[in-house]
Structure 1
Amino acid sequence: MRVIGESLFGAVLEGLGRVSLMPSKRIFLPPSVREKSRDQFYQLKQLNTPVAEFEAAFTSLSRFALELVASEERRCLEFKKKLRTGLKLRVARSMTREHGRLVDAAVHLEIIMHEEEDRMRGFKRSQDDQEDGRRHRGSNIQQSHENELLVERNTQLENKVNELQQSLNSAHTEKEATFVMYHMNTITELTNQHSKASELNLEAEARVSENKIKLHETIQKFSQRDLEAKDLIAKLNELQGWIKMYEEQAHETIGVTKNQKVEFEQTLFKLKGLEGIIEELQNMSGQFEKQRVQLAGVNSKLTQDLATYESKLNDLNHLSSQN
């Protein structure tokens, strides 16, 4: 997924930022611009941008995704998610739910992180300088000692050669010649020993160079593993932050579930009350039906009596008209 880099923050502050600086004017933005700004907010990441500039871009773009920042708490959660990893892990420990305080804490922690990084770089540079110094001093001391031995042996050989040369020049007898030959053999033997010593010295230098290369490779491997370990620790801390956030969301969900359960129980209680009322109404309806039947019987009887009385009245009227 493409994320917003440092160049986009300038565009946001230069473009959308001008809209927020003129609250008295209603500026119409086409739907395509709103949708693009909304996508930019979804993809917004801090990366290497300072917290102050990132917060300005966050505030400008959040107006196009109000459902993500509907409350102060959700605004804080969204702001934390978009911070870079190292800073996010430190800010995640903050339990504040006010956006302004959260931004101030992030700025303060960013300054502390920069200071720690500067100290770590200085400490590592000092260790590297000390290590290089120890290596150079050890190598120089060893080479200096070997050179001194070679110079001493060369001096001894030169002295022997000079002595033998003088003895050869002054030798006049066979005894002296034999003595000279003996010393010449000694010189030859010393020369051979010197050659062997030189070969051993070269071999030792080759081994030292090979050990230096192996040491350098070992240091590189150790540095690589150290970086991998730091990366794993950072990922572990990030996962712990996510787990903590999910736990908070789970607690909130449990609270909402409990409220819904209470509301359901209240509704169930009301429903049971309504069922009792319905049952009472049904009983009253049965009584009303019985009374209606009784009243119908009474009404029928009264109708019959009325018909009888009317018949008698008609008979009386008929008799009265005949008289």
Structure 2
Amino acid sequence: MGGIGKTTLAKAIYNKLSNQFEHRSFIADIRESWKKGVHQILKRLIDDILQQDIGVRDENEGTYIISSRLKNEKVLVVLDDVDNVNRVKLLSGNRDWFSSRSRIIITTRDEGIFKGVEVDCKYDLKEMDDAQSLILFSKHAFRMDSPPKGFEDLTREVVSITGGLPLCLEIFGSLFCGKESTEWGDMIKKLKKIPRKEVQERLRISYEALDDGQKQIFLDIACFFIGSDKRIASYMWEARKFFPKGTEEIEAIDPSKGGSDGDVYQDEQFKKLTSLRFLHMMKGAKLKGDFKDSVDELKWLRWENCPTKFEVNNLHATELVVLELPHSKINEAWEGWSSFKRSSNFLT
């Protein structure tokens, strides 16, 4: 996860070990630095280790210098925020590039990178617990390890929003620093709705690294399925390929985000929703009209307190995977069964 403290931890280790190595280099933010050219990164690495300005004209020259001139050197190298296994190989090469006494530290958001290179030890950095979070936030907000009198409850409320993410704790702590307790209420409400831009930008990198299918699943969870049984959601994802959102490509509707109990939805409202795959009906809501060619792609229907009178024609839910009818008083004679039993693989 972005902002969890990988770079900060790597810097702390690097600073602690630096005096044990005459030759060392910390290459920060390789994901972004790579855009400026690989030979620039190679030059930085070589210059740091040899402690002199070495002209590196291209990638081949850079790798040759590292593999030939640094063979017997004991080096400490940190490769920070690596997002591609080939970049690790290009910068650290084989184990015979450096002395066996050397140490290469890699930080990455993608654990899969370690499968492509030989590593001796992996460490999975976790979020901070409540006690650690409180200390870190307090250091930035109050310049002390705990909140002063009168700020205890407010501080715990802010800390709970961060989810133990060090980046959030630092940014939010600085944001609240020097503010009176009377100002905290409105600021907390805003943070709950919209995180700080710095946090959004850092976390977005993790989202952009996902492939299209993973992004769709992420958005499904964030927008619709928080609190749902993950096993049920997986049935729908397995039965569906993933495509972007759009007017005709809307794939999920959850009236609970803005509807009310007992609403009535007419067929005209669904005519253009030909890609709809998730529909959550509020308690007692009704569907009315002719739904021919409207919900043919529907995979998941959740209809709370479904009415006993079924007023829908041509509802051909042949692709249905999940059917939830909680708190409904329907029986085996319910007219709606004919619409859903066209699908042989749904979970009731």
- What is the TM-score normalised by the length of structure 2? 0.16
* Greater fraction of residues in strand: 2
Tell me which structure has the larger Cα radius of gyration: 1
- What is the TM-score normalised by the length of structure 1? 0.17
